[in-house]
Amino acid sequence: MIKRTLCFGAILATLFSSSCIKDAPLSPEADIDSFIVDQDDLTGAVFIDEANSRVQLYLTQDAYENGIVPRVVAIPGATVEPANGDTLKFDQVTGAGLTSYKITSQDGKYHKTYTVSVVNIGVWAWDFENWVVQDPSKYMYPIEPDSSVIWSSGNPGIALAGVQKDPKQYPLRDTTEPYHGQYCAVLETRGGTALSSLVGIKLFAGNFFLGVFDSRYGLSNPLASTQFGQPYRGRPKRFRGYYKYQPGPIYQDKAGKQVAGATDSCSIYAVLYGGTTRLDGTNIQTSDRIIAVAKLADASAKSVYTRFDLPFIYLKDVEQQMMLAIVMSSSYKGDQYEGAIGSRLLVDSLQIIHQ
């Protein structure tokens, strides 16, 4: 009998002893925590694009010419090569001199190489002819002739929602129904996924904007992850382009319930605002930093390519440091997860006319 008790005791002891907390694992993460550049050298805040291993810099004329000395800080435990202190020089014309940093994880098993690129929008006009597919999530985004990236969309966020890894499954992609050239952008409102409906998102409006997508807020605050605008100098006068729009058949509210009699409409606007940090989906229409707005009024169905030519309406005078955003959506209330699945907006040949 005592033996039996001992036997059971031994089993229990095994259970508890094997359940002890082990030593902390070495970090497998390899990432940049911050990329610090002298504020005087910047026209816009540095953006670390973790999804695409890219550091995007927005530099002043002086910084282009003289180079910058950034301080690259890796996450705790990880190491950076090359070490800090080197001057980075950029050639404004060819884009040469771009450089990269290699981050190695604390456990030594993982590496991530960041490319530093300088974003410099010379001509504010786009035909959306060059598209690339992001790896590994397989969504598309357009690139500029110099390969820089200035346009973004909600695609990187939708990639987190368990969408099939196929460009056609995402709301923004290219298509061969252009107004001009070979390609244009198509924005299509889509139904949510099983994962997104867990967080109450039953619909993804197609969206497309000048700016960046900050994945950090992709789940916790999706509207804050769409960060609108690129550094701008001057005084924009008009926002022009071509679009075609077909609303989806059934309009639904945030809960996914059909709203009888409602028709979806698209949304196309440009916003000029002051500062060097971006406005986002929570404040792009309401911030007191807004200087001027150009907004498409007639957002109804257009079966053929239709030209728009919108004047910037100024609320206040231009400033030294500004950003300009272009924001488009295939569902007018897409930021509230309302719209019609299947709503389809095509845009091409966009242009900002300066004064």
Which residues of the chain form contacts with another protein (CB under 8 A)? Answer: 1, 4-5, 8, 11-12, 15, 18-25, 27-31, 49-51, 105, 109-112, 136-137, 156, 159-164, 193-195, 198-199, 215-220
> Which of 34, 60, 33 shows the shortest CA–CA distance to 321?
60
Q: What residues does 187 pair with on adjacent strands? A: 172, 345
Closer to another protein by CB, 5 or 39: give it: 5
The distance of closest approach from Cβ of residue 255 to another protein in the complex, given in angstroms and rounded to an integer, is 18
Report the C-alpha gap between 87 and 186 in whole angstroms: 41
Closer to another protein by CB, 170 or 179: give it: 170
The distance of closest approach from Cβ of residue 3 to another protein in the complex, given in angstroms and rounded to an integer, is 10
The distance of closest approach from Cβ of residue 195 to another protein in the complex, given in angstroms and rounded to an integer, is 5
What are the DSSP calls for 87-130, one per residue?
PB---TTT-TT-EEEEEE-TTSS-EEEEEEEE----S-EE----
Closer to another protein by CB, 125 or 199: give it: 199
The distance of closest approach from Cβ of residue 193 to another protein in the complex, given in angstroms and rounded to an integer, is 5
Instruction: Kindly state the helix (H) or strand (E) to which residue 45 belongs, with its residue range.
Output: strand 42-49
Closer to another protein by CB, 114 or 332: give it: 114
Closer to another protein by CB, 170 or 332: give it: 170
* Cβ neighbourhood burial of 143 (10 Å; 0-12, 13-18, 19+): middle
Report the C-alpha gap between 287 and 280 in whole angstroms: 10
The distance of closest approach from Cβ of residue 49 to another protein in the complex, given in angstroms and rounded to an integer, is 8
Report the C-alpha gap between 119 and 259 in whole angstroms: 43
Closer to another protein by CB, 160 or 353: give it: 160
Closer to another protein by CB, 33 or 129: give it: 33
What's the Cα-to-Cα distance from 301 to each of 202, 343, 346, rounded to whole Å? 23, 10, 11
Q: What residues does 210 pair with on adjacent strands? A: 151
Question: What is the phi/psi pair of residue 60, to 5°?
Answer: -75, 165
The distance of closest approach from Cβ of residue 132 to another protein in the complex, given in angstroms and rounded to an integer, is 17
Report the C-alpha gap between 338 and 183 in whole angstroms: 28
